[in-house]
C-alpha cells in the first residue's frame, strides 16, 4: 500500500497516471491493475529530510538555503510523505532559464502531524499552516562518518590491546626479575647457613682435636718448638721432646679446617658412594686433611732432612732428631684408592646431578639432597 495525493483529475476514466517512483514503490509496471481508495492523512507539522548524497545540497551561490530549496521542491509535486521513502526533489529556480535544474534523492525521515507530537508513518503536506522542515546529515556523509568512527574505534582497540600486551610483558619481566632477586637472596641465605654450619663444625672439630692434645709446655730445656708452613699460613707450638709425632700430626689436623675452609670430617656421615665422589672433587691438601695422609718435611738449616709421615708417627721428637726446634713444610698426599672399582663408582655420581665444584657449593648441594 502506498499513500499519495491527487495532483489533478485530468486522466481518462479508470486510468491513473503516476510518477515512475510511485510505480517503483508499488513494485508495479505500466498497465498493471491498481486498487485505489481514499484515506484520511493528518496534515504535517514537522518533517525530517536527509539527502542521499552530500553533493545534492552543495551550492556555491550566495544566499543558498538548503531547507528552503527542499521545501520549494516539495510543493506542487508531493502531497503526502511516508517515512522511509526515498523521493526525488528538483533543485533550482524553475523561472531562471540560465540555472540548470537538478534532482536529488532525499530520504524521508521522522514525520509528525495532527494534534500529536508523536511520529506517524504518513503525513499530508498540502495546505499546511506551519511546517517545520529539518534537514539532516546526508546518508553518504553518515556512512563515511560511521566508517571513520569504526576505523578510529578499531585503532583505539588495537592500541589498547598493544598497551595491555606491553603491560603484560612488563609485568612478566618484573615478575621474572623479582623471582631472580628472591632466588638470589635465598641462595645467599642458604650459602650463609651452610658457611655458618661449616665454620661451626670446623670449630667444633678443632676444639675436639685440641682436647686430645697435651697442654703446651712452657719454655725450657725439655720443650721442642715446632713451626709448620700450611697452605693458609704458618702455625707454631711447643711440645715436650718426648711427644710422639702422632701428636704433632693431630695438632696440624686441628688447624686444617680453618686453613683450608673445608669440611673434611663431615664426610664421615655421608653414604659411601657420595663420600667417594666428594673426595674425588677435593683439592690435594683436602685429601690429606681427610685421610691424614700428609707429610711434614723439615727444612731447618743445619739439620738433616726429615720426613714425618704415618709410617714413623710413633717416633718422638727427640728420637727423630728434631729437638730443640724444627720447621716443617706441609706436603699433602693423595689418598690411596680404598677399594677396587671406586673410580667407577665416583664417575657414576654424575647420575645424581651434582654439579658443585667447590666444598661450599658441594656441602650446599648435599644438604639439600640428603
pLDDT recorded at residue 9: 82
Residue 251 lies in a domain: yes
Do 343 and 236 sit in the same domain of this protein? yes
- The closest of 328, 336, 258 to 292, measured between CA atoms, is 336
pLDDT recorded at residue 276: 55
pLDDT recorded at residue 355: 36
Do 251 and 360 sit in the same domain of this protein? yes
The neighbour count for residue 219, using CB atoms within 10 Å, is 8
The C-alpha cell at 288 is: 690429606
**How many helices and strands (H and E) does the chain possess?**
8, 11
Contacts with 66 (C-beta within 8 Å, 6 or more apart), sequence order: 57, 59, 135
Number of domains present in the structure of the chain = 2
Last residue of some domain: 103, 136, 169?
Answer: 136
Q: How many CA atoms lie within 13 A of 230 on its CB side?
A: 22
One-character DSSP codes across 16-73: ----HHHHHHHT--TT----------PBEEEEEEEESSGGGG---STT--HHHHHHHH
User: What are the angstrom distances between the C-alpha of 98 and each of 53, 93, 95, 134, 165?
Assistant: 24, 9, 9, 29, 64
This prediction has a pTM of 0.43
Do 227 and 323 sit in the same domain of this protein? yes
Do 129 and 252 sit in the same domain of this protein? no
Do 221 and 105 sit in the same domain of this protein? no
d(CA 192, CA 195): 5
| CATH classification at residue 38 | 3.10.330.10
User: What are the angstrom distances between the C-alpha of 310 and each of 67, 239, 250, 287, 368?
Assistant: 122, 19, 11, 15, 36
Last residue of some domain: 136, 155, 187?
Answer: 136
β-strand partners of 81: 123
Q: Do 332 and 294 contact (CB within 8 A), yes or no?
A: yes
The C-alpha cell at 353 is: 646431578
Using DSSP bridges, classify how beta strands 223-230 and 102-113 pair: parallel, antiparallel or unpaired.
unpaired
pLDDT recorded at residue 101: 56
| CATH classification at residue 346 | 3.10.20.90
Range of the domain at 260: 211-369
pLDDT recorded at residue 284: 46
Residue 8 lies in a domain: no
User: What are the angstrom distances between the C-alpha of 88 and each of 49, 118, 120, 174?
Assistant: 11, 26, 21, 66
Residue 192 lies in a domain: no
Residue 76 lies in a domain: yes
3-state secondary structure of 251: helix
Do 340 and 233 sit in the same domain of this protein? yes
Do 226 and 123 sit in the same domain of this protein? no
pLDDT recorded at residue 315: 93
- pLDDT tens for the chain, 370 residues long, are 777 777 778 888 888 888 877 788 788 888 888 888 888 888 888 888 888 887 655 543 444 466 676 667 777 778 888 898 888 887 765 555 545 557 788 899 999 987 777 899 988 888 888 888 888 888 888 999 999 999 999 999 999 999 999 999 999 999 999 999 999 999 999 888 888 887 888 788 778 877 888 888 999 999 999 999 988 889 999 999 999 999 999 888 888 754 444 444 445 544 454 455 545 545 444 444 444 678 899 987 777 889 998 889 999 999 999 999 999 999 876 444 443 444 444 444 343 333 333 444 444 454 454 4
Do 354 and 222 sit in the same domain of this protein? yes
Lookup result for grid cell 528538483: 90
Element (H, E) at 225: strand 223-230
Do 353 and 228 sit in the same domain of this protein? yes
pLDDT recorded at residue 100: 55
Q: Do 133 and 71 contact (CB within 8 A), yes or no?
A: yes
pLDDT recorded at residue 155: 96
Q: Exposed, middle or buried, 223 (CB in 10 Å: 0-12/13-18/19+)?
A: buried
- The closest of 59, 127, 137 to 93, measured between CA atoms, is 59
Last residue of some domain: 113, 136, 159?
Answer: 136
Do 117 and 228 sit in the same domain of this protein? no
Amino acid at each position: 500500500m502506498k499513500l499519495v495525493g491527487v495532483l489533478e483529475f485530468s486522466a481518462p476514466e479508470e486510468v491513473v497516471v503516476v510518477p515512475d517512483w510511485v510505480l517503483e514503490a508499488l513494485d508495479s509496471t505500466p498497465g498493471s491493475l491498481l486498487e485505489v481508495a481514499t484515506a484520511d492523512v493528518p496534515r504535517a507539522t514537522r518533517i525530517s529530510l536527509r539527502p542521499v548524497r552530500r553533493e545534492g545540497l552543495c551550492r556555491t551561490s550566495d544566499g543558498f538555503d538548503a531547507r528552503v530549496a527542499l521545501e520549494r521542491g516539495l510543493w506542487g509535486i508531493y502531497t503526502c510523505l511516508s517515512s522511509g521513502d526515498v523521493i526525488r526533489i528538483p533543485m533550482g529556480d524553475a523561472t531562471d532559464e540560465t540555472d540548470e535544474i537538478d534532482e536529488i534523492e532525499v530520504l524521508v525521515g521522522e514525520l509528525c502531524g495532527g494534534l500529536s507530537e508523536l511520529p506517524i508513518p504518513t503525513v499530508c503536506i498540502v495546505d499546511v499552516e506551519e511546517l517545520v522542515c529539518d534537514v539532516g546529515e546526508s546518508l553518504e556523509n553518515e556512512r563515511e562518518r560511521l566508517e571513520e568512527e569504526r576505523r578510529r574505534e578499531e585503532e583505539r582497540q588495537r592500541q589498547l590491546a598493544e598497551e595491555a600486551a606491553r603491560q603484560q610483558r612488563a609485568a612478566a619481566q618484573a615478575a621474572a626479575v623479582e623471582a631472580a632477586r628472591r632466588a638470589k637472596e635465598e641462595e645467599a641465605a642458604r650459602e650463609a647457613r651452610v658457611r655458618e654450619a661449616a665454620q661451626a663444625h670446623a670449630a667444633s672439630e678443632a676444639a675436639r682435636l685440641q682436647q686430645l692434645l697435651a697442654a703446651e709446655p712452657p719454655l725450657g730445656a725439655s720443650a721442642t718448638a715446632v713451626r709448620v708452613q700450611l697452605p693458609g699460613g704458618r702455625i707454631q707450638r711447643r711440645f715436650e721432646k718426648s711427644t710422639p709425632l702422632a701428636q704433632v700430626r693431630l695438632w696440624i689436623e686441628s688447624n686444617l679446617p680453618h686453613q683450608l675452609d673445608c669440611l673434611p670430617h663431615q664426610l664421615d656421615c655421608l653414604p659411601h658412594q657420595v663420600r667417594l665422589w666428594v673426595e674425588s672433587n677435593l683439592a690435594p691438601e683436602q685429601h690429606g686433611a681427610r685421610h691424614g695422609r700428609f707429610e711434614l718435611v723439615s727444612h731447618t738449616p743445619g739439620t738433616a732432612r726429615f720426613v714425618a709421615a704415618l709410617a714413623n708417627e710413633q717416633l718422638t721428637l727427640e728420637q727423630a732428631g728434631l729437638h730443640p726446634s724444627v720447621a716443617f713444610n706441609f706436603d699433602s698426599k693423595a689418598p690411596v684408592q680404598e677399594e677396587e672399582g671406586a673410580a667407577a663408582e665416583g664417575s657414576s655420581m654424575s647420575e645424581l646431578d651434582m654439579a658443585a665444584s667447590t666444598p661450599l657449593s658441594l656441602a650446599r648441594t648435599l644438604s639439600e639432597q640428603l
